[in-house]
Amino acid sequence: MAQQKSTLKERANVAFQDDFLRKAVRFTADRLRGRKADSTGALGDWEEWRERGRAIRSHVIENLDYYLDQFIQNAEKRGIHVHFAKNTEDAIAISLKIAKDKNTKLIAKSKSMVSEEVHLNHYFEEQGIECLETDLGEWIVQLAHETPSHIIIPAIHKNRYQVQELFEKESGETLSSDTKVLAGYARRKLRQRFAEAEIGMTGCNFALAESGSVVLFSNEGNARMVTTLPKTHIVMMGMERIIPSWEDLEVMANLLPRSATGQKITVYMTALSGPRRAGEVDGPEDVHIIILDNGRSAILGDDEFQEVLNCIRCGACLNVCPVYRQVGGHTYGGTYSGPIGAVITPLLMEDKKQWGELAYASSLCGACHEACPVKIPLHDMLVHLRRRYVEAGFTPLSERMAYKGYAAGFKSVGAYKLAGKSARWVQLTVMGDEKEESALAKNTPMHGWTKYRTLPEPNKKAFRDRWADLAAEPPQAPRGPKPKKETE
Amino acid sequence: MRVTLFITCLVDQFFPNVGVSMVRLLRRYGCEVSFPQSQTCCGQPAFNSGYVREAREVALNQLNAFEGAEYVVSPSGSCSGMVHHYYHELFADDPRLAARADALAAKTYEFSQFLVNVLGVTDVGAVCPHTVTYHPACHGSRILGIKNEPMALLQHVEGITLLPLPKAEDCCGFGGAFSVKLGDISGAMVNEKVDHITETDADFLVSGDMGCLMNMGGQMKKRGLKTEPLHLAEFLYRFSS
């Protein structure tokens, strides 16, 4: 599939021209934040739960080869075919082979960001195989020929009127914009298709090493249809989805839904442990698991970034991110959006220059780290990514010169004083005064600032130049009630 | 108590009154205040942009400037946060410098932290018959963990009406170079923040970092708002002298 060639700024500009999108993203993010706060409060010491989650995930990632091995052995014992895909090409080739062996014309899909990552639908459609997204949000996005703009709420950027329009176009029927009517239509339409699909394909929230089982959290029931009705089930999962045991699942089952949607638990939590056995009434006859590397193993052993593999894909960092809030998910250009996308996309993609600029899509406010249920220090990782971007020589010469100038001007006080004086002069003569942006300023990089804000008034006398007088002032007695120390 | 001032470059060059207010407040409580003229900037602008070598050169100057200090106090959660959270990393490949960085971090305090937690002052005797809303700057609250100190100081101001700022914990969009480099995104963020400030209709917007206040204040001025942005130190000093 064609690589995203636009820049971060260009994509942000598209978002800025879409008021509907911006309103919808803010509205939903606010609701999720509110619900998360309520549901985590009910769990007692949320910080302790986060720490447990972090510990489990870090332990697994540190010993990933061991747990992967255990998972594969146990899954195979249960009659599951396990495949390992080094990259996108492998993942597509393996799934296409299974599809062709089964003579498939239709695959019903549910919950798989990883299949988005390898652009599976696109490659299958080229082969004349239809991949039907059955999660409501995913289906809406598919009908609109778009990509998901949120990790767990793919159609966060659409409102019900836009959905009504898409559904009417798809069905040729007249529908109302009532969400019940729209959901009802989706239900009717998708139900017919679950039964027609030869293959059901899902992602995987957690893979349990001790039993070789795959666990899915879902709300709509479609994942159950996809995993029980078609004769073949393919699971595509990132290699880091493993947790050791059922006991660990309890921690994750507390952390994930609360962080994602503010639910105490999702409507369905499905554990799948191999194909249908003799005497069982439903379930697939054949189960394949494709474990995808696609750049993940390169992050293993990298002190600065390994913890990013702890991510449980809840989207909590998106919901609190002030940048995501303003521009939505498509601005990030890749499969994963928000702060986690800004970190993981540059790590996973080969073109570090093109994707590395995502690390700048943050004011480094740290809200993502605070929200993360497994405490990934995303804000620190963004700084590390920027450092690598600079070290790789990807930043423009003008910027490199500017920071060289900064270092020269600030590494000793002599140069600093001179820099301070010339900065004042530049501001007064070039940038214009604090009220008006000068015509000249509009053509400098400072325009990014002055377009939205005035500049502070340059002071005639810096603090350091006032120090001598200040030091000579007699001390004043404290006013009001005396400080605690003296009254004790 | 000996206090060495860590005056951020922004305060030094643009907002000297914040430094002056802080000095006068600290001296009221018996602090012996000094200001090493050799200090410049914490290095954060370069560090956050990925220019580590440049940040290190500047930070090294700060290590030297504050050598021998008992307490280092700064009117900025962001710059103190830089010292606390990133100086170790910056000097990690030189154990001697790393140890000096750790020692500096251990004695560096943001203004409200120092006043409340070290000096034990929550009531500076200020009287302010006005409405005030408070923005908790991100680095102070998230990197340094300053949660209650500024609010404790404000709550003790006589006659004050504190108005809650909607979505107070959301970033104002400053982020240093971010506000210039991705000006439109940052502009959208400060726009939403100032909408919330407008909703409160407060007389003063108080915060603990001049970067954020310069950002919010810059847009407030552009909109012609009557709300005055003011650093916590300047606010407390103005209404208690």
Q: DSSP assignment of A40-100, as one string?
A: HHTTS-HHHHHHHHHHHHHHHHHTHHHHHHHHHHHHHHTT-EEEEESSHHHHHHHHHHHHH
Indicate whether A14 belongs to any domain: no
Domain presence at residue A355: no
**Which comes out higher in pLDDT, residue A438 or A105?**
A105
Q: Which of A464, A466, A473 would you mutate first to test chain B, the one with the most B CBs within 10 A?
A: A464
Task: For residue range A160-178, list pLDDT tens digits in order.
Answer: 999 999 999 999 999 999 9
Q: What is the interface pTM, i.e. ipTM, of the complex? A: 0.97
Could you tell me the CATH number of the domain that includes residue A189? Answer: 3.40.50.10420
Sheet-wide strand order for A199-202 = A81-85, A286-292, A232-238, A199-202, A106-110, A130-133
Q: Which residues of A touch B37 (CB under 8 A)?
A: 413, 464, 467
Which residues of chain B make contact with A12, given a CB cutoff of 8 A?
A: 182, 184-185
A326 CB neighbours in chain B (<8 A) are 185, 188-189, 192
In whole angstroms, what is the distance from residue A314 CA to residue A38 CA? 16
- Of A245, A271, A300, the residue at which a domain comes to its end is A300
Indicate whether A425 and A284 sit together in one domain. Answer: no
Residues of B (53-112) whose Cβ lies below 8 Å from A: 53-55, 57-58, 60-61, 86
| End position of a domain, from candidates A300, A333, A360 | A300
Q: Is B241 on the interface with A (CB under 8 A)?
A: yes
pLDDT tops 90 at residue A67: yes
Buried b (16+ CB within 10 A) or exposed e, A286-303: bbbbbbbbbbbeebbeee
Residues 6 or more apart whose CB falls under 8 angstroms from that of A397 comprise none
Model confidence at A44: pLDDT above 90: no
Query: Distance, in angstroms, between A462 CA and closest chain B CA?
Result: 5
> Does A163 fall in a domain?
yes
The shortest C-alpha distance from A173 to chain B (Å) reads 39
Residue A41 domain-assigned?
A: no
Residue A477: predicted pLDDT: 79
What confidence score (pLDDT) does residue A443 get?
Answer: 76
Model confidence, pTM: 0.95
Q: What was the pLDDT predicted at B241?
A: 83
Please, which residues bridge with residue A268 across strands? A218
Q: What is the number of other CB atoms lying within 10 angstroms of the CB of residue A377?
A: 18
Q: What is the pLDDT of residue B106?
A: 98
B136 vs A459, which has greater pLDDT?
Answer: B136
Q: Higher-confidence residue: A191 or A322? A: A322
Section A419-448 average pLDDT: 72
Mean of pLDDT values over A225-231: 94
Give the mean model confidence (pLDDT) for residues A331-341. Answer: 96
Amino acid (1-letter code) at residue B105: A
A292 and A148 in a common domain: yes
Question: Which amino acid is residue A420, in one-letter code?
Answer: G
Q: Which pLDDT band, with edges at 50, 70 and 90, does A470 fall under?
A: very high
Q: Which of A467, A479, A488 to mutate to test the interface with B (most CBs of B within 10 A)?
A: A467
A488 pLDDT above the threshold of 50: no
In this predicted structure, what is the pLDDT of residue A425?
A: 74
The helix (run of H) or strand (run of E) holding residue A8 is: helix A8-16
Query: Residue A482 pLDDT more than 60?
Result: no
Element (H, E) at A218: strand A213-218
Question: For the segment A233-265, what is each residue's pLDDT rounded down to a tens digit?
Answer: 999 999 999 999 999 999 999 999 999 999 999
| pLDDT, mean of residues A82-93 | 98
Q: Which pLDDT belongs to residue A1?
A: 38
pLDDT of residue A468 exceeding 70: yes
Mean pLDDT of all residues in chain A? 92
Across A281-371, the runs of DSSP E, i.e. the strands, are 286-292
Q: pLDDT at residue A485 above 60? A: no
Q: Average pLDDT, stretch A20-43? A: 92
**Angle at alpha carbon of residue A321, lines to A317 and A326, rounded to 5°:** 140
What percent helix, strand, coil does chain A show, rounded to 5? 55, 10, 35
On whether the CB atoms of residues A368 and A339 are closer than 8 A, the answer is yes
Torsion angle, alpha carbons of B20, B26, B28, B32, to 10 = -100
Average pLDDT over residues A445-470: 88
Number of neighbouring beta carbons within 10 Å of residue B129: 11
Residue A87 lies in a domain: yes
Can you list the positions of beta strands (E) in A112-212?
130-133, 199-202, 206-208
Domain span including residue A461: 413-467
Q: State residue A460's pLDDT score.
A: 78
Task: Report the candidate in A343, A378, A254, A305 with the shortest Cα–Cα distance to residue A58.
Answer: A305
Q: Tell me the C-alpha distance between A423 and A418, whole Å.
A: 9
Answer whether residue A242 is part of any domain. Answer: yes
Decide if A114 is inside a domain: yes
Tell me, what's the pLDDT at A487? 43
Residues of chain B with pLDDT under 50: none
Please give the mean pLDDT across all residues of chain B: 97
pLDDT exceeds cutoff 60 at A486: no
Return the bridge partners of B132, or none. Answer: B162, B204
Q: Mind listing the pLDDT tens digit for each residue in A294-321?
A: 999 999 999 999 999 999 999 999 999 9
Taking residues A195-207, report their average pLDDT. Answer: 96
Asked whether B29 and B71 are in contact (CB, 8 A), the reply is no
Q: Is the backbone of residue A236 left (phi > 0), alpha (psi -120 to 50) or beta?
A: beta
Q: Which residue has the higher pLDDT, A483 or A100?
A: A100
Task: Check whether A3 has a pLDDT greater than 80.
Answer: no
The pLDDT value recorded for residue B108 is 98
The phi-psi region of residue A321 (left if phi > 0; otherwise alpha if psi is between -120 and 50; otherwise beta) is: beta
The residues in B 196-235 lying below 8 A from A, measured between CB atoms, are 214-215, 217-219, 221-222
Assigned domain for A18 exists: no
Q: State how many domains chain A has.
A: 2
Q: How far apart are CA A84 and CA A101, in angstroms?
A: 18
Does A478 contact B122 at a Cβ distance shorter than 8 Å?
no
